[in-house]
Structure 1
Amino acid sequence: MEGSSQLEQIDAKNCQELLDAGGDSEKRQAYGFECLTSGFANHVWSVASSGGKKRLVVKSYTDLMLLRIEAHAVGAVDELAGRCGVGPVVHLSNQTGLVMDFLPGRTLEEVDVHRGNLAMLEGVAKMLSKLHSQKVPAACEGEPMLWRTMEKMMLVAKQTPELLPAGIPSMEVIDQEIAAAKTALERHRPKIVLGHGDFKPSNVLEHNGEVKLIDFELGGPNYRGFDWMKLFRTAGDFSEESMRLFLRAYAESAGESCSLEDLEALLQETQVFEPLTWLEAFVFFLALPQFKSDELPRWHKLAEHRWSMYQESRARLFEMRHSAND
């Protein structure tokens, strides 16, 4: 297999040296690091391999990495995704970061998934379906990541109540709302798979018509509908037609029936998760000030917006439709 030969060509010692260099600006310059992204939970660079024949990606985790996941599970889904061809091949993974193959291409934007581009949507659906078909790594086993991550973030947010925005409910009320949302979701009987956990368009790479997925840090057992909705959730122009094209392609890739009735059921399964994508993001921005208190007004504004969007879409979760009771 191509992935296996690539693993053999990359020296593990060199990978560790590159990962160590991520924390030293002088070493990054000496190695020729090029910054790709700098997000909430990690810093990412590209760099040439020791032989100069390949480009690698070095991802260095920040303290925020462990806000939502357990240390022993870090990198487990990234490695699996590389082995099964869904994501880049990982050459080194530990609790400080990872080194993996560089994949050419551009990351998608929200507007891309709402354009009705069938070929692109089919490519995304095929890759996500393949990820969802994999066995959950032992390190990630447990209840769905959606609830685990929110529980961890709520514990962090409660530590410094003085950093919370003024215009939100009490922590007790939010806890009650999360519990009620969990109970409401269970009535819909959604399917649990090996989920990506943060399947926004920017975690999809497209190059010459080929699609790969990236950033699997929040991967683990999760609801497939959560991944679907995270891909299509937008505050801009929403295209139900594009969502239907994607869901049909997903069903075909997964070997599932995709009659009009089946497609309608998949659409409902997706829409149930819209409020939960907002609720999860709301809790994230409640916890974030613990790590980045210098931008408090920004986090407050984002938290208030996510709570507002949750309230607006809440009925999709709590109001049962006829098909959900079949």
Structure 2
Amino acid sequence: MASNVFGGVVVTYVSLCVDVSSYRPGILKLLEHIRPTWKEETIEFKVFEGGFTNCLVGVKSGEEDMLLVRVYGRNTEKFINRESEIKNLVYLNKHIGTPPVYAHFDNGLCYGYAEGRHLALDELYDKTMGRRIAKELAKMHAIPLPAEDTNKALLDTVYFNSWLDEIPAVLETEEKTARMKKLIGSVEELRRECDELKSHLDQLNSPIVFCHNDLMSKNMIYSQNDGSLTLIDLEYGGPNYRGFDLGDFFCEFAGIDTVDYNLFPSRDYQLVWLRMYLEEAALLRGEEPSTVTDEMVEDLYVEANQFALTCHVMWGIWGLIQARYSVLDFDYLEYAELRFGEYRSRRETFLLLKKPSKK
């Protein structure tokens, strides 16, 4: 056992790999280092279903708090910087009290469990729950960024850069390869399209904040005990444009198991929720919610919807990479086709939106 320092916090490192198909021996070995008083005969395991990248196992002993052990999916290092992920989790625990990190190992990490249940997709429309989501997201966006990250948005440095480099030349069959080429043309063509889109969005001056970057309902845990909401699964988190998180949140109303973009929230709903978000942000700055104006809400509506286009492109690229390397039973190529299809169907309409303050 050793340790590494992330953001000034020491995190235990254990040299081992946990086998996804037979995880028990590896996790027991891990617990010897971080929970040495736990007796093997009292330890309970719970596999959490529904992940699209990793294997997630809960471990508990008696009345002790549950721990989560995440075993990374194969080849996920191609689009997730695991060192940055641990750094971000430590940073968020320090600033807004998200679950702590207890240890990391060669193909995963162990961290605290957020008590509660995942939100159902239809709960995103609930006004009370919407206020909770707006409050937690505003808190995350208000975290001061480390000085070295203030001008580095993941959209620029990772999603529209290194991820493009990871798009495979071919998929497992000629038919799938042909579908991919029909979808994006070539990587060079897609890169030019990303550059053009980014050039347009630069005019919005969306601030760089700490973003979650994966705001699906399954990454929101509601505790009925105290009414709190916790944003979890921050492996894609980090400094990014505020508009990306807002646009991604609205895109996630369509779901992921079964994707239906008819569920993309209406303008009326978005304006109500964006006002709540701005009011919560105002409160965090010590201002009255009444300082939020209609013009501010309209401005943010344009920002969120135009950045939603980048979310479709980013997750479309993610789908193409996963289609080549993931071993999970999910049609990633079809998902990429859905995301790029939605991007192209909305692109002209969204890019024509104008901020009231820019008239």
| Partner SS, residue 136 of structure 1 | coil
Pairwise CA distance, 1:213: 0.6
- Contact 1:185–1:317, Cα closer than 8 Å, also in 2: no
Partners of 1:216 and 1:97 in 2: CA distance: 14
Matches for 1:93-242 after TM superposition, within 5 Å: 93=104, 96-114=107-125, 117-137=126-146, 143-147=152-156, 148-160=158-170, 164=177, 165-168=180-183, 169-208=185-224, 209-233=227-251, 234=254, 235-237=261-263, 238-242=265-269
| Partner SS, residue 214 of structure 2 | coil
Pairwise CA distance, 1:318: 3.3
| Partner SS, residue 58 of structure 2 | strand
Pairwise CA distance, 1:22: 6.1
* Highest RCO, 1 vs 2 (Cα 8 Å, sep ≥ 6): 1
Residue identity opposite 2:65 in structure 1: K
Match of 1:307 in 2: 340
CA change 1:37–1:271 in 2 (3 A) is same
Match of 1:46 in 2: 58
Residue identity opposite 1:122 in structure 2: R
Partners of 1:96 and 1:215 in 2: CA distance: 16
Deviations 1:46-83 (A, max 9, x none): 1115x752111111212343222334313222222223
Please say if 1:267 is aligned against 2:301. yes
Residue identity opposite 2:68 in structure 1: V
Match of 1:248 in 2: 275
Pairwise CA distance, 1:113: 1.3
CA change 1:142–1:290 in 2 (3 A) is farther
Matches for 1:51-66 after TM superposition, within 5 Å: 52-66=63-77
Deviations 1:180-208 (A, max 9, x none): 01101101221211111112222111122
Partners of 1:92 and 1:240 in 2: CA distance: 44
Partners of 1:111 and 1:76 in 2: CA distance: 33
Match of 1:7 in 2: none
Please say if 1:84 is aligned against 2:99. no
- Contact 2:295–2:356, Cα closer than 8 Å, also in 1: no
Partners of 1:21 and 1:139 in 2: CA distance: 33
- Contact 1:229–1:270, Cα closer than 8 Å, also in 2: yes
CA RMSD of aligned residues (A): 3.0
Which runs of 5 or more structure 2 residues have no equivalent in the other structure? 1-10, 29-39, 255-260
Pairwise CA distance, 1:109: 3.3
- Contact 2:298–2:355, Cα closer than 8 Å, also in 1: no
CA change 1:95–1:177 in 2 (3 A) is farther
Normalising by structure 2, what TM-score? 0.76
| Partner SS, residue 247 of structure 1 | helix
Pairwise CA distance, 1:223: 1.2
Partners of 2:105 and 2:203 in 1: CA distance: 38
Task: Report which stretch shifted further, 104-113 or 276-285.
Answer: 104-113
- Contact 1:75–1:216, Cα closer than 8 Å, also in 2: no
Match of 1:283 in 2: 317
- Contact 2:213–2:237, Cα closer than 8 Å, also in 1: yes
Q: In percent, how many aligned pairs have the same letter? A: 23
- Contact 1:156–1:290, Cα closer than 8 Å, also in 2: no
